[in-house]
């Protein structure tokens, strides 16, 4: 989960003197940071070290990640003119070279451990652009959505295409699954989500729906037409068979879980997982997303600092409630607090493996 590395001393020492976005765009550094939690905690998958705003930077937007704050833009993009200038920018293949290189290096180092790639959902990215920086209620973004729906739709179509290109580059370079982070979607009503957000999220995910995750295809599998992909080695194909699995995550989304599943379906994702924060128990989440959908989550990050017996009981409960789902990616319900004792995280992983 986001910023997992921040609790690790080896992460902090590697990051000394190097900006966040510069680390993301330096393939050997991004690879090493991705591997650190895998080595230390023995988790079953790695999450690519990058950030949801990296594609904005690669498209030429003046964005920085400020320590202790998060993504900050050179300006708030709110008027039709601001948005018109923004959407002229494109993210071409050349600009994505450091991402492809970092993913390829990481996958080679990981051996059999899968790599989860990710991107920011169009709404969450647009929320940073319209506000210009992190915000609590995303008021300016939600205002624009209603005050000028045409400008809003232009903006989220553009952020969708950026994230789509970012996800696609990661899958083609060897990521085994993707996760779309719509961290702030919980601030929306279901009606607004469905009308003004869900179509662009589906647009972003559709960029990878026809791809097979190369690392998921068993050696010697028949990759000819009709199987996963068309076998021409470019990762594209007819979409039949195993497509890249996708996880769709947000926080405060108890009222949106069914709609978030629908985004995966509309995008043409066959292997669908809905991420659940710590607010909705997984058995309730399962009833909302229905059959054939896996779940991710939903250990409460606050409990990482509680006495071990309290945390352990919670972890057991989360695993038990997730057991009815076709699949359960055990994870935190949101990011690891930076002050978390890494030994506690290792113990959680051991406990889940034992269960
Ligand atoms: O766990 C990992 O380190 C994986 C890499 C990763 C991921 C998946 C980072 C590195 N960022 C993200 C996703 C991300 N970034 C999300 C979606 C997931 C979530 O909800 O947590 C969001 C909303 C961001 C934006 C962002 N970047 C914030 C949040 C600001 C806010 O609005 O509250 C912050 C603090 C960052 C910086 C960042 N990104 C990643 C790291 C390690 C850091 C911290 C920088 C540092 O101090 O090292």
Question: Does ligand 1 have an atom closer than 6 angstroms to the CB of 2?
Answer: yes
Q: Encode burial over 131-155: b for 16+ CB neighbours within 10 A, e otherwise.
A: bbeebeebebbbebbeebeebbbeb
Say yes or no: CB of residue 118 within 6 Å of ligand 1: yes
Mean pLDDT (the chain, rounded): 92
Rounded to two decimals, the ipTM of the complex is 0.95
pLDDT at res. 224: 36
Instruction: Report the nearest-CA residue for atom 28 of ligand 1.
Output: 70
Residue 225 has pLDDT above 80, yes or no: no
Confidence of residue 222 (pLDDT cuts 50, 70, 90): very low
**pLDDT (mean) for 290-300:** 96
pLDDT score, position 7: 87
134 lines ligand 1 (CB under 6 A): yes
The pLDDT assigned to 235 comes to 44
- How far does the centroid of ligand 1 lie from the alpha carbon of residue 154, in Å? 25
Q: How confident is the model at residue 25 (pLDDT cuts 50, 70, 90)?
A: very high
For ligand 1, is residue 335 a contact (CB within 6 Å)?
Answer: yes
- Mean pLDDT for 204-208 is 98
Q: Please report the pLDDT score of residue 213 as a whole number.
A: 73
pLDDT in tens, 230-242: 444 444 444 445 7
Given this model, what pLDDT does residue 230 score? 41
* Tokens at 76, concatenated: 């708030």
Query: Average pLDDT in the 266-286 region?
Result: 97
pLDDT at residue 210, rounded to an integer: 86
Distance of alpha carbon 239 from alpha carbon 243, whole angstroms:
6
- What percent of the chain clears pLDDT 90, i.e. is strictly above it? 88
Q: Could you give the CA distance from residue 214 to residue 237 in angstroms, rounded to a whole number?
A: 12
pLDDT at position 216: 55
Per-residue pLDDT, averaged over 189-198, amounts to 98
- The predicted model gives 213-242 an average pLDDT of 46
pLDDT at 234: 44
Query: Residue 217 has what pLDDT?
Result: 52
Q: How far is the CA of 19 from the centre of ligand 1 (A)?
A: 13
Domain segments of the chain as ranges? 4-298
Does any ligand 1 atom lie closer than 6 A to the CB of residue 3? yes
338 pocket-lining for ligand 1 (C-beta < 6 Å) = no
What is d(CA 93, CA 100) in angstroms, rounded to the nearest whole number? 10
- CATH match for 4-298 among 3.40.50.2300, 3.40.430.10, 3.20.20.210, 3.30.1050.10: 3.20.20.210
pLDDT in tens, 31-49: 999 999 999 999 999 999 9
């Amino acid at each position: 989960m986001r910023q997992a590395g921040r609790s690790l001393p080896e992460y902090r020492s590697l990051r000394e003197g190097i900006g966040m976005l510069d680390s993301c765009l330096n393939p050997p550094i991004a690879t090493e940071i991705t591997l650190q939690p895998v080595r230390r905690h023995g988790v079953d998958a790695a999450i690519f070290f990058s950030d949801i705003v990296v594609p904005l930077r690669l498209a030429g937007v003046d964005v920085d990640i400020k320590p202790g704050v998060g993504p900050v833009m050179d300006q708030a993009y709110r008027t039709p003119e601001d948005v018109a200038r923004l959407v002229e920018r494109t993210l071409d293949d050349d600009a994505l070279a450091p991402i492809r290189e970092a993913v390829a290096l990481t996958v080679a180092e990981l051996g059999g451990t899968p790599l989860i790639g990710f991107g920011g959902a169009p709404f969450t990215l647009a929320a940073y652009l319209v506000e210009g920086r992190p915000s609590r209620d995303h008021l300016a973004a939600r205002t624009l959505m209603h005050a000028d729906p045409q400008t809003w739709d232009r903006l989220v179509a553009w952020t969708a295409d950026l994230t789509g290109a970012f996800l696609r580059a990661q899958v083609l370079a060897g990521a085994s699954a993707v996760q779309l982070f719509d961290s702030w979607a919980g601030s929306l009503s279901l009606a607004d989500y469905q009308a003004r957000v869900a179509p662009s999220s589906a647009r972003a995910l559709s960029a990878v729906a026809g791809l097979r995750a190369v690392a998921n295809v068993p050696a010697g599998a028949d990759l000819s037409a009709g199987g996963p992909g068309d076998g021409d080695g470019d990762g594209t194909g007819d979409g039949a068979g195993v497509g890249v699995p996708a996880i769709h995550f947000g926080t405060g989304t108890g009222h949106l879980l069914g709609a978030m599943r629908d985004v995966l379906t509309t995008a043409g994702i066959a292997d669908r997982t809905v991420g659940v924060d710590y607010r909705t128990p997984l058995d309730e989440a399962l009833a909302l997303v229905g059959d054939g959908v896996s779940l991710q989550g939903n250990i409460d990050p606050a409990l990482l600092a509680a006495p071990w017996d309290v945390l352990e009981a919670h972890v057991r409960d989360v695993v038990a409630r997730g057991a009815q789902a076709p699949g359960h990616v055990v994870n935190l319900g949101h990011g690891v607090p930076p002050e978390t004792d890494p030994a506690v995280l290792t113990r959680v992983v051991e406990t889940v493996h034992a269960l």
